Amino acid sequence: MMCRTLSSLVLMLPLLALLGCDPGGGGGPGGNNPDVTVGLEPATVTLPMSGTQRFMATVAGASDTSVIWTATGGDLTREGVFTAPRKEGTYRVRATSMADTTRYAESVVTVTKPPAPPALPRIQAFTVAASTINPGESTTLRWEETGATSLSIEPDVGTVTGTSVTVSPSTTTTYTLRATNAAGSVTAAATVTVRPPPTITYFAATPATINAGQSTTLNWEVAGATSLSITPGVGTVSGGAGVTVSPSATTTYTLTAINAAGRVTATATVTVGVPPVITSFTAASATINAGQSTTLNWTATGATSLSITPGVGTVTGTSVTVSPATTTTYTLTATNAAGNVTATTTVTVRQPPTISSFTAAPTTITAGQTATLSWTSTGATSLSIAPGVGTVTGTSVTVSPTATTTYTLTATNAAGNVTATTSVTVTPPAADTWASLSWANELPGNYDSDVYRWLDAGKQQRTAVLTRNTARDPGGSYGGMLRQFRFYTGTSERVATGTGASSGAGYIWNGWGYVVSHYGSGGVSHSGSLAGNYRRVFVGKHHAIHEFSWNMPIGGTPVKVTVHWFFSTGRDYPVYAVTFDTSAAGSSGLSTSADSRTPYGDIAWDGDGTNAFVDGVKWGDKYKFHSRTEPFTAQSQWDYSQPNTVPYTMLYSRAADAEMGMVQTLDWVQHNTGGTWFNENWGRTSETRVGSFDGWMMPPNWNWPYQMCQYEMDGYSQTRSKRLAWGLMYGAVGSPSYYGYGYEKSFVGHPYQSYSVFMVMGQQSAGEVLAQATQVERMLKGQLSVTQGAVVISGPGGVARSDTVTYPVAGYNSHYAAYELRADLSGQFNATLNAAGGELQNPLFLVRAAAGVPARLYLDGVLLKADVDYFASFDSSSGVLWLTLNRAWSGSHTLASGT
């Protein structure tokens, strides 16, 4: 530390920052006080010219801490702020204590020159890789530069780095590269030229309208094209001289102009006048009697005039009446500026029909047998036979009169009618012999039908009239259903007939047994609106199978549907069996979910049933449902709490003493069809039900396991509708798997859905539907064993199927509700059936590989009498023997064939 004594505030020579001291001492102001010390910060600093720095002084050891500021250059404020002079060099800043001016401290300030200003950046090059491009193409901008701290390109690029960037301008564009640093910026420019596509300013046909065979010229004006072409039928063209075309029909030509930048098109239409067209020319009655008239009808387009020869001349409109005296061919000529065309139609003038022969073979039959009526007739427009047959077609029909009958054949055309007669003599059968089942083609009410007649368990005749499904029936549907069912109550015959009711959705119910499937969101496929096929699979002495089939569209896929009606002497109720085959949809199944309401229809008790209200409804799945309140309305109370085994559905009328329904041939667990949507109310009553049903007490129509009469009912009124759908265990159709309501699991449903039901119609007082359900329960508990032959435990999963599945009950064929076995190699069999579930009425056996109808049949070793104790039919095409036992079967018994 160096000490100095200052006598005045003057600029000092540079000194180190030291504490001031007074060697002589002294205690007053300005005196030498060894306790006073001065500090100064910062001790050293470097500043640019004119730069500033604030210094901080501290004084210790004195009550007066103020200082005196001095500097060897620059400016210094009382607050210690130093401003450097505009000259480089080294300077001193001193702070002297006011309490003792011999005490001070100094800091060293170094003043430096400012740096030289930077140079501007330099752009050595700014170029384009391809200076000319086509629309949609790209090119690369490249550059070389030095000294830039940032680069940017405008327009549409912005800040860049590196030495290149890709651009794709839509039009010719000049790009500006800007290089920038602290000294400023410089620019350079480069242009990318975008070639324009060609332009078509004119393309037209002169003239624009011609007749067939004429020509016109296509002209155009085009700029910038390297090639031109015209389609269709012209090809490459050049220049603008035009080209001549002769289209045969109205044509739109397209001119395409191309250059390196792309292509453009323009169109021109040449309208070609064509001769008129005659779509149809027919006679309303192509055959008439002399003196009668007919109407010639035509449809023609594009004609300016029409004429008919001979004998008519110019005509207008679409029809004219003619009365030719002889067979005449009329010619219609349609004319316009482009030419004329002709069409012909012939009106035949006819004579009354003739009947060359009308015979019966055989002329004598036993009651229950059939005879064939055959005839030869010419010129007839219709044929009919009375009594009991109606309108016929072809050359023969089968009849089965119950008494000696004289039949009259009437041949009719517009010119008149003629008749012929033949007789069939009927002899009664032996007193104890049962008559055979019969089939005939008849036309009751002009419904072209296959009619099956058989004797039921009470030896009374039953009749099923099945309407053919190849054409629309008189009621407007395509048939394929049970039009009429006849049976006896005592000595009175009861006749149930299709009502012809409409569902309000365009579907008519002329009977019962229609196939109905709902799919997707509101889609319906209905056999009554679709032509199909029919055939008699088998008609034996006592058994028959009748088939209907359709290719029904479900969600756009043609689903093969097959229905078998099965009839058997000694059985009261026919079996209705159905199969849906969706294999056409492939392994993934249908594109939509679908169900089966099959069989479906509306059939009335005793004629039209107009005076018979529905008094109640019942069905059963896992539980039994029945309406409790009569008369039956949508507000009837119900009970759904009693356990059940075999599914059924029914409705009844006390006033008519009638009921109808269906009973499934398997129980609700064995046939997994998807369950019922109403299963959430299992075990409940109307008082404890789940759901409000839109104000109804009964379930609303969409949720009923049968769809019977909802469409005719309001909330409170009774109904006479007998509409009845199976729907109890809705068949899930065509999905690889589907959920089973009430099963709480899923089942496989692709590609088949098959099931069978008994069609039951009888007396309400006899409780026939529930009695048949009891019979099926007992059938399912039957135990079949075989000592000669074998029990059949598997087979096709349904009618018209070729697959093999294991039967739910060994030896029980649910398709026809029959016990099934196979004969041994000799065609004989020995089988024992134990009716473990209770008494069976007239059990049915199906024997495969049989040698034929057995010469002898034994029950527990006792010889049975054919057509009395049992009813047998043999199908030689399949080797199947059908046997219906005419007896109640309790306990265990053995049935054996013999020679």
How many angstroms separate the CA atoms of 378 and 356, rounded? 8
> Which CATH number is 782-898 given?
2.60.40
Token pair, residue 476, equals 């407007």
Confidence of residue 17 (pLDDT cuts 50, 70, 90): very low
When mean pLDDT is compared over 11-25, 625-639, 768-782, the highest value belongs to: 768-782
pLDDT of residue 730: 52
Mean of the per-residue pLDDT values of the chain: 89
23, pLDDT greater than 70? no
Decide if domain 505-775 falls under CATH 1.10.287: no
* Backbone φ and ψ of 626, nearest 5°: -150, 140
Q: For the chain, give every domain's residue range.
A: 1-115, 122-194, 199-273, 277-350, 351-428, 505-775, 782-898
Superfamily of domain 277-350: Immunoglobulins (2.60.40.10)
Helix, strand or coil for residue 37? strand
First to last CA, the chain: 152
For residue range 677-731, list pLDDT tens digits in order: 788 899 999 999 998 877 788 887 655 555 555 566 677 888 877 777 765 455 6
**DSSP letters for 171-197:** S-EEEEEEEEETTEEEEEEEEEEEPPP
Burial of 27 from C-beta contacts in 10 A (0-12 / 13-18 / 19+) = exposed
In this chain, the answer to whether the domains covering 199-273 and 277-350 adopt an identical fold is: yes
- Please report, for residues 449, 453, 576, the alpha-carbon distance to residue 497 in angstroms, rounded to integers and kept in the order given: 13, 16, 17
Query: What would you report as the CA-atom Rg of the chain, rounded to the nearest whole angstrom?
Result: 55
Q: What's domain 122-194's architecture?
A: Sandwich (2.60)
The angle formed by the CA atoms of residues 522, 523 and 525, to the nearest 5 degrees, is 140
Q: What DSSP character marks residue 777? A: H
The reply to whether the predicted model has a pTM over 0.75 is no
Query: What local confidence, expressed as pLDDT, does residue 20 receive?
Result: 38
- Top pLDDT among 694 and 379 is at 379
Mean pLDDT confidence for 153-162: 93
The tens digit of pLDDT for each residue in 529-548 reads: 999 999 999 999 999 999 99
Q: For domain 1-115, which architecture applies?
A: Sandwich (2.60)
> What one-character DSSP code corresponds to residue 26?
-
Q: What pLDDT sits at residue 743?
A: 77
- Please give the Cα distance from 343 to 543 (Å, whole number): 55
Of residues 655 and 308, the one with the higher pLDDT is: 308
Residue 402 has pLDDT above 90, yes or no: no
Query: Both tokens of residue 34?
Result: 């060894």
Instruction: Please give the Cα distance from 891 to 887 (Å, whole number).
Output: 13
What pLDDT shows up at residue 740? Answer: 79
Share of the chain above pLDDT 70, in %: 92
Give the fold, CATH level 3, of 351-428: Immunoglobulin-like (2.60.40)
Helix (H, G, I), strand (E, B) or coil at 30: coil
**Looking up tokens 């395409």, which residue turns up?**
256
Model confidence at 607, in pLDDT bands (50, 70, 90)? low
Is the domain covering 199-273 a CATH 2.60.40.10 domain?
yes
pLDDT tens per residue across span 322-348? 999 889 999 999 999 888 999 999 999
pLDDT tens digits, 808-843:
999 999 999 999 999 999 999 999 999 999 999 999
